């Protein structure tokens, strides 16, 4: 307990926001016609000279307008609200492979894409596989509602940024939500300071079988960490519940109270920003400051119309392996 550093101050600035205080356009960056022209030319070049995604590097292409645009996006991620919604790629003009390549290059201007699974998967399809969430089945490949969380909170090296490209939407539901964990931290500190401290202590996380066969199945770490300079969030209520079960350990009463109280804060409708993710739009979130979620959804009966997002994880530290 004595070695735990708690950020015991009000967090101020743009990163601590409430959804009810944001306008519909806050965080939205519109691609200019000049950007689209560069990307159209890029699509043509990639059609003539195909390369696998990992071989594509922004420095190999003349994309000066797009590069400035993505530099602006990164500033918003680091110095602003902590999320951007880029509107939008003209998906009807390109093949899916062209769109993936362009998406990869744009996000690579923010930071380096890294593995999203232990097997080295770099680009990840988010769609309903028909499975139920549990150990080894991430909620993102189901159609169930998700709580606010940070990606890969349950493993060794979470990404700095999480990016999603919307390819197709569901028949019903699948509404996206974003929240500032900094402002949620403020609320917890104002009203439940004794429980906030518990979030800085270890919880047990289910690693979702994303590890070597002989590696440990769980990981212990706090939900908030403060290193004296930066406050980082690593939250996933779902993976903590599974992790405690997997370890055969019951969560302590303070831990239960802290998680449940924090969850109530996150469910306050005034805290989050919700929006309907549309084809061609790109959402990028600072994974150390903001949480994201989506509501449950009902898909189209035709397989070729099902809800489909494409995800990238971006991180500037360590190696590109899943575990850094």
3 is a domain residue: no
121 is a domain residue: yes
Token pair for residue 74?
A: 């990164």
322 is a domain residue: no
* E strand map for the chain: 28-30, 83-87, 113-114, 124-126, 161-168, 172-173, 176-180, 203-206, 218-221, 224-226, 231-233, 272-275, 282-286, 290-294, 297-298, 308-314
CATH number of the structural domain spanning residue 212: 3.60.130.10
9 is a domain residue: no
266 is a domain residue: yes
97 is a domain residue: yes
Average of pLDDT values for 98-105? 98
Whether the pLDDT of residue 2 is over 60: the answer is no
1 is a domain residue: no
Whether the pLDDT of residue 135 is over 80: the answer is no
Whether the pLDDT of residue 133 is over 90: the answer is no
Average pLDDT, the chain: 96
Residue 204 confidence class, pLDDT cut points 50, 70, 90: very high
22-46 residue pLDDT tens: 999 999 999 999 999 999 999 999 9
CA distances from 277 to 9, 94, 175, 320 (A): 34, 19, 7, 28
179 is a domain residue: yes
The domain total for the chain is: 1
Pairing of strands 28-30, 83-87: parallel
Q: What is the per-residue DSSP string for 48-104?
A: HS---GGG--GGGS--HHHHHHHHHHHHHHHHSSSEEEEE---GGGS-HHHHHHHHH
306: domain range? Answer: 26-314
């Amino acid at each position: 307990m004595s070695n735990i550093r708690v950020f015991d101050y009000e967090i101020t600035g743009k990163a601590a926001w409430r959804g009810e205080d944001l306008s519909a356009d806050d965080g939205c960056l519109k691609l200019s016609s000049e950007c689209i022209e560069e990307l159209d030319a890029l699509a043509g070049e990639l059609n003539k000279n195909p390369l696998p995604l990992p071989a594509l590097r922004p420095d190999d292409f003349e994309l000066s307008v797009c590069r400035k645009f993505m530099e602006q996006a990164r500033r918003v991620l680091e110095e602003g609200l902590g999320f951007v919604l880029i509107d939008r790629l003209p998906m009807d003009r390109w093949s899916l492979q062209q769109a993936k390549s362009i998406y990869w290059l744009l996000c690579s201007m923010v930071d380096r894409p890294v593995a999203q699974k232990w097997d080295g998967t770099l680009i990840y399809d988010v769609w309903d596989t028909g499975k139920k969430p549990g150990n080894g089945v991430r909620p993102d490949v189901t159609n169930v509602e998700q709580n606010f969380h940070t990606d890969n909170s349950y493993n060794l090296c979470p990404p700095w940024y999480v990016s999603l490209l919307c390819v197709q939407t569901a028949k019903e539901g699948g509404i996206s939500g974003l929240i500032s964990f900094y402002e949620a931290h403020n609320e917890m500190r104002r009203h439940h300071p004794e429980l906030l401290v518990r979030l800085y202590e270890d919880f047990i996380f289910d690693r979702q079988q994303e590890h070597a066969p002989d590696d440990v199945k769980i990981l212990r770490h706090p939900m908030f960490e403060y290193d004296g300079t930066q406050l980082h969030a690593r939250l996933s209520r779902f993976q903590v519940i599974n992790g405690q079960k997997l370890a055969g350990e019951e969560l302590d009463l303070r831990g239960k109270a802290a998680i449940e109280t924090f969850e109530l804060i996150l469910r306050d409708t005034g805290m989050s920003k919700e929006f309907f993710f549309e084809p061609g739009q790109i959402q990028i979130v600072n994974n150390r400051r903001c949480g994201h979620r989506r509501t449950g959804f009902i898909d189209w009966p035709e397989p070729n119309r099902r809800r489909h997002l494409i995800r990238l994880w971006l991180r500037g530290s360590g190696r590109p392996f899943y575990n850094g």
